[in-house]
Structure 1
Amino acid sequence: MSSHSPEEPVPDRQQKPDALPREAVAAPSLPQTLSGFRIGVTSDRRSEELIAAFQRRGAEVTHAPALRIASLTESVTLQQETNAVIASAPDYVIITTAYGMRRWAEAAETYGVWPELYEALSGASILVRGPKARGAIRAAGLDDDGAAEDERTDTMLDMLLQKDIRGKTVAFQLHGMLNHRQVHRIEDAGANVCTVMPYTWTKPAEDSDLLKMINAVIERQLDMVTFTAAPAVEAFLGVAQQYGKRDDLVDALQSDVLTAAVGAVTANPLADAGVEAIIPDRWRLGALIKKVCDHLESHHIVRAETAHGAMEIRGHQVRFPQSEAAPVRLPPAPLALLRELVMANGAVLSRDELLAVLPHCDSERALEMLVSRLRKSLQISSVVQTVVKRGYRLAI
Structure 2
Amino acid sequence: MGAEALKGKRIVIAGSQKTNEMSVIIEKQGGTPIVRSLQGLTIFEEAQVADPLRRFAREGADWVILTTGLGADNLIKASEKLGIQKEVLHRLSQASIAARGYKTTAFLKRIDLRAVVSDDDGTMGSLMEKLESIDFAGQRIWIQLHGEPAPELEQRLTEQGAAQVQSVLPYRHIPPERETLDAILSQLAEGSVDAVCFTTAVQVRYLFSYGMETGSVELLRAAFNGPVLAAAVGKVTAEALRSYGVERVVVPDIERMGAMIIEISRCYEAVE
> How far apart are the structure 2 equivalents of 1:184 and 1:253?
33
Change over 3 Å in CA distance of 1:173–1:47 after alignment to 2:
farther
Letter in 2 for 1:274: G
1:287-302 alignment, distance < 5 Å: 287-299=259-271, 301=272
Letter in 1 for 2:62: D
Letter in 1 for 2:174: T
> How far apart are the structure 1 equivalents of 2:223 and 2:134?
46
> How far apart are the structure 1 equivalents of 2:64 and 2:18?
27
| TM-aligned CA deviation for residue 69 of structure 1 | 4.3
Question: Hey, which bits of structure 1, 4+ residues long, moved more than 6 A?
Answer: none
Alpha carbons 1:154, 1:182 under 8 Å: kept:
no
Bigger shift: 32-41 or 118-127?
Answer: 32-41
- Give the alignment partner of residue 132 of structure 2, picking from 145, 149, 161: 161
Higher Cα radius of gyration? 1
Residue in 1 that maps onto 2:251: 279
> How far apart are the structure 1 equivalents of 2:209 and 2:228?
18
Residue in 2 that maps onto 1:226: 197
Residue in 2 that maps onto 1:118: 89
Residue in 1 that maps onto 2:155: 184
> How far apart are the structure 2 equivalents of 1:288 and 1:217?
20
Letter in 2 for 1:271: R
| TM-aligned CA deviation for residue 93 of structure 1 | 1.3
> How far apart are the structure 2 equivalents of 1:245 and 1:146?
40
Quick one: percent identity of the two aligned structures?
27
Alpha carbons 1:45, 1:69 under 8 Å: kept:
no
> How far apart are the structure 1 equivalents of 2:235 and 2:82?
36
Alpha carbons 2:121, 2:235 under 8 Å: kept:
no
> How far apart are the structure 2 equivalents of 1:225 and 1:65?
11
TM-score (norm 1): 0.63
Residue in 1 that maps onto 2:184: 213
Q: Deviations over 1:279-324 (max 9, x none)?
A: 223333343232122222322x3xxxxxxxxxxxxxxxxxxxxxxx
Residue in 2 that maps onto 1:71: 43
| TM-aligned CA deviation for residue 177 of structure 1 | 0.5
Letter in 2 for 1:175: H
Give the secondary-structure state (helix, strand or coil) at the position aligned to 2:225. helix
Alpha carbons 2:25, 2:258 under 8 Å: kept:
no
1:241-260 alignment, distance < 5 Å: 241-260=212-231
| TM-aligned CA deviation for residue 183 of structure 1 | 1.0
Change over 3 Å in CA distance of 1:164–1:50 after alignment to 2:
same
Structure 1 gap ranges (5+) = 1-29, 302-396
> How far apart are the structure 2 equivalents of 1:45 and 1:113?
31
Give the secondary-structure state (helix, strand or coil) at the position aligned to 1:255. coil
Residue in 1 that maps onto 2:167: 195
> How far apart are the structure 2 equivalents of 1:121 and 1:69?
29
Give the secondary-structure state (helix, strand or coil) at the position aligned to 2:141. strand
Does residue 263 of the first structure (1) align with residue 241 of the second (2)?
no
Alpha carbons 2:122, 2:235 under 8 Å: kept:
no
Q: Which has the higher contact order (CA 8 A, sep 6+)?
A: 2
Residue in 2 that maps onto 1:92: 63
> How far apart are the structure 1 equivalents of 2:19 and 2:153?
28
> How far apart are the structure 2 equivalents of 1:47 and 1:238?
23
Alpha carbons 1:167, 1:190 under 8 Å: kept:
yes
Give the secondary-structure state (helix, strand or coil) at the position aligned to 1:193. strand
What is the root-mean-square deviation in Å for CA atoms of aligned residues? 2.1
Give the secondary-structure state (helix, strand or coil) at the position aligned to 1:122. helix
- Give the alignment partner of residue 144 of structure 1, picking from 111, 115, 125: 115
Letter in 2 for 1:121: L
> How far apart are the structure 2 equivalents of 1:69 and 1:139?
27
> How far apart are the structure 2 equivalents of 1:41 and 1:242?
22
1:247-396 alignment, distance < 5 Å: 247-275=218-246, 276-299=248-271, 301=272
> How far apart are the structure 2 equivalents of 1:54 and 1:103?
32
> How far apart are the structure 1 equivalents of 2:262 and 2:241?
21
| TM-aligned CA deviation for residue 148 of structure 1 | 1.0
TM-score (norm 2): 0.90
Residue in 1 that maps onto 2:29: 57
> How far apart are the structure 2 equivalents of 1:36 and 1:223?
9
Change over 3 Å in CA distance of 1:268–1:143 after alignment to 2:
closer
Alpha carbons 2:48, 2:170 under 8 Å: kept:
no
Residue in 2 that maps onto 1:39: 11
| TM-aligned CA deviation for residue 138 of structure 1 | 1.4
| TM-aligned CA deviation for residue 245 of structure 1 | 2.8
